[in-house]
Structure 1
Amino acid sequence: MKCISVDDEINLKNTIVTIGKFDGIHKGHEKLFGEITRNANGRQKVVLTFETSPKNFLENNANKTIVTEVEKQMLCDSQGIDVYMKMPMKKEFLALSPEAFVKEILKKKIGATTIVCGPDFSFGAKAAGNVEFLRENQKKYGYSLIVVEKEKYHNKDISSSDIREKIVKGKIAEVNEMLDHPYTVIGKVEQGKHLGRTIGLPTANIMPESTKLLPPNGVYKTMVNVAGKKFNSITNIGVNPTVETGTRIKVETHILDYENYIYNEIVQVEFYDFIRPERVFENVEELKAQIERDIEQCRKKN
């Protein structure tokens, strides 16, 4: 998958494109990508995505996101997208009229001959462009339009905002159903204080990006993808208050029945079940005993 920016000097030809923030790449987004694949007929499949949502940019409201930029690119690549085009949130882009957006971005830059979108898609200055505008201007600008109905969960349209709400509440199983893939934290394994290794429970430590929306602090049943291989694991999100005094949240994962050193490796931690909240223990021995109980609980869930 090629990753480019609207700012780049590039003019694609004869493509099929879908547009959006695509936070999380949930079931509804996958439905759009599936429609692109079915209708590509040899054309390049393009995702045009915003670096942040226009609303957040205009309100200077940097909401945390379900996926980081790197995670979003990886998920789009796994969906068979050929070109991932970022649209920086610049005022000159936000000021484009619907007509200018179609002419300058969708036609001149992307070369779209088919546009795939949901029924509530809006674009252009003050979100003045909509599906009706796109439908009425197909012949004028030389593209076809495919409108894809939203995917539902328990009879309600799936939305990134609802998924974010469930992540904050720690409802991981529901989050995974709505995403259609496990909620995941991706990052480089950093050197820690090696406390886990000294008590026979080594951990792979990730410092998640500040923009990443994390579930509540606590212990979770997880799986870790290391170099393309998956292993059962148990993960703590939090500040490790028994042995640490800092406030920065870490993702610490103990990989079950795994002995290799993986410092500086990029790993993917997939979350499946909440085990218990993070809490302070009297001493390291008490912490170790609780972790061993947590591991047994995770094994029983397999």
Structure 2
Amino acid sequence: MDMPKTAAALGIFDGVHLGHREVLRTAAGQKENGLMPCAFTFPPESTAFKGAGGYIYSSAEKEHILREHCGMERILSPEFSTVCGMEGEEFARDILAGELNATFVCCGMDFRFGRGAACGAEELRTFGRRYGFRVQTVEDVCLDGARVSSTEIRHLLLSGDVERADALLGAPYMIRRTVRHGAQIGRTIGFPTINQVFEQGQLVPAFGVYASVTRTGGREYRSMTNIGVKPTVDYGGAPLAETYIHGFSGDLYGSAPEVRLLRFIRPERRFSSTEELRKQIASDIEAAVKMP
């Protein structure tokens, strides 16, 4: 079966923020011209693309957003080591025109490719004329006069300012990881939670309690999420998101619900008794659920 002609969006897409979404929207818009929207990117785990604080989304989270929220029907995400040695023309010929069968390619103004990042938009247009694809570049996106960037979003998440981070992302920051078994301490005091563990190398938002929304089974629920490290559960010291889902009853072990952070409520603190903990959790849940 022949590979369909595609419209390819090129980028690292760490965070899939407003600027990235404009590139992806441009590619997705070519579907009305009969082209399959696809994305060319790299796994965020690659050391070449780890920003300060770690990568914002895991490979699975990023690919979920690209497919489910940005309209990408195919994603090509090779290891960086397999393409970093390619000359620019080789990349255009073998990957874009060849493997992707692209007839339309879009990228940000600062996109670089080829050995040593030697090539940019002008070279891409030259290769496009040679190998049969049209190139469109997308201007940087600014919000409140400042360029939207993954670096700024990392800083905001690390400081707990998810409201501003969400604005730059164009959607609430999302945690979508497989639910794991925990010590079930929350269940014993009347507040069952789900545990989602962050990957090593992945950015972890500021420890503390957040108002959130959880999507599972095609429905959305108000929820409250605590991010931190649980000494009572052996996750190898890895930070996790522990979420109480208001109005939900069921078993989510092994599934990967979307938990979206909306607002920082308070930093982590220690409690002198289980009753004090229970009262604080009840207060946190009330604050999270009543958030406009």
TM-score (norm 1): 0.88
Alignment of structure 1 residues 18-57 onto 2, 5 Å: 18-40=9-31, 41-52=33-44, 56-57=47-48
Cα deviation for residue 209 of structure 1 reads 2.1
Q: 1:258 to 1:82 in 2, by over 3 A?
A: closer
1:299 corresponds to which residue?
289
Q: Helix, strand or coil for the counterpart of 2:26?
A: helix
- Answer whether contact 1:51 1:86 (CA < 8 A) is retained: yes
1:215 corresponds to which residue?
205
Q: 1:13 to 1:240 in 2, by over 3 A?
A: closer
Cα deviation for residue 170 of structure 1 reads 0.9
- Answer whether contact 2:52 2:154 (CA < 8 A) is retained: no
- Answer whether contact 1:52 1:89 (CA < 8 A) is retained: no
Q: 1:186 to 1:50 in 2, by over 3 A?
A: same
- Answer whether contact 1:12 1:111 (CA < 8 A) is retained: yes
Q: Confirm whether residue 98 of structure 1 aligns to residue 85 of structure 2.
A: no
Unaligned runs of 5+ in 1: 1-9
Kindly provide the amino acid, as one letter, of the partner of residue 73 in structure 2.
Answer: D
Give the distance between the partners of 1:68 and 1:161, measured in 2 at CA: 16
Moved more, 290-299 or 17-26: 290-299
Kindly provide the amino acid, as one letter, of the partner of residue 140 in structure 2.
Answer: K
2:165 corresponds to which residue?
175
Q: 1:157 to 1:120 in 2, by over 3 A?
A: same
Give the distance between the partners of 2:152 and 2:97, measured in 1 at CA: 33
Cα deviation for residue 135 of structure 1 reads 2.5
Q: Confirm whether residue 196 of structure 1 aligns to residue 186 of structure 2.
A: yes
Q: 1:82 to 1:108 in 2, by over 3 A?
A: same
1:15 corresponds to which residue?
6
Give the distance between the partners of 2:217 and 2:140, measured in 1 at CA: 35
Q: Helix, strand or coil for the counterpart of 2:64?
A: helix
1:198-256: CA deviations, max 9, x gaps? 11111111222223312111011011112121111111111246x67984322111112
- Answer whether contact 2:14 2:44 (CA < 8 A) is retained: no
Q: Helix, strand or coil for the counterpart of 2:180?
A: coil
- Answer whether contact 1:14 1:111 (CA < 8 A) is retained: yes
1:64-100: CA deviations, max 9, x gaps? 211111111111112211211112111x521111111
1:3 corresponds to which residue?
none
Q: Helix, strand or coil for the counterpart of 1:261?
A: coil
Q: Give the aligned CA root-mean-square deviation in angstroms.
A: 2.3
2:140 corresponds to which residue?
150
Q: Helix, strand or coil for the counterpart of 1:95?
A: coil
- Answer whether contact 2:53 2:154 (CA < 8 A) is retained: no
Give the distance between the partners of 1:32 and 1:141, measured in 2 at CA: 21
Q: Confirm whether residue 252 of structure 1 aligns to residue 246 of structure 2.
A: no
Kindly provide the amino acid, as one letter, of the partner of residue 43 in structure 1.
Answer: L
Kindly provide the amino acid, as one letter, of the partner of residue 12 in structure 2.
Answer: K
- Answer whether contact 1:189 1:263 (CA < 8 A) is retained: yes
- Answer whether contact 2:45 2:55 (CA < 8 A) is retained: no
Give the distance between the partners of 1:130 and 1:22, measured in 2 at CA: 17
Q: 1:258 to 1:110 in 2, by over 3 A?
A: closer
Cα deviation for residue 121 of structure 1 reads 1.1
Give percent identity, aligned residues only.
32
Give the distance between the partners of 2:79 and 2:108, measured in 1 at CA: 22
Q: Confirm whether residue 82 of structure 1 aligns to residue 73 of structure 2.
A: yes
Give the distance between the partners of 2:52 and 2:210, measured in 1 at CA: 27
Q: Helix, strand or coil for the counterpart of 1:87?
A: coil
Q: Helix, strand or coil for the counterpart of 2:63?
A: helix
2:265 corresponds to which residue?
275
Q: Helix, strand or coil for the counterpart of 1:129?
A: coil
Q: 1:13 to 1:295 in 2, by over 3 A?
A: closer
Moved more, 136-145 or 151-160: 136-145
Give the distance between the partners of 1:244 and 1:205, measured in 2 at CA: 10
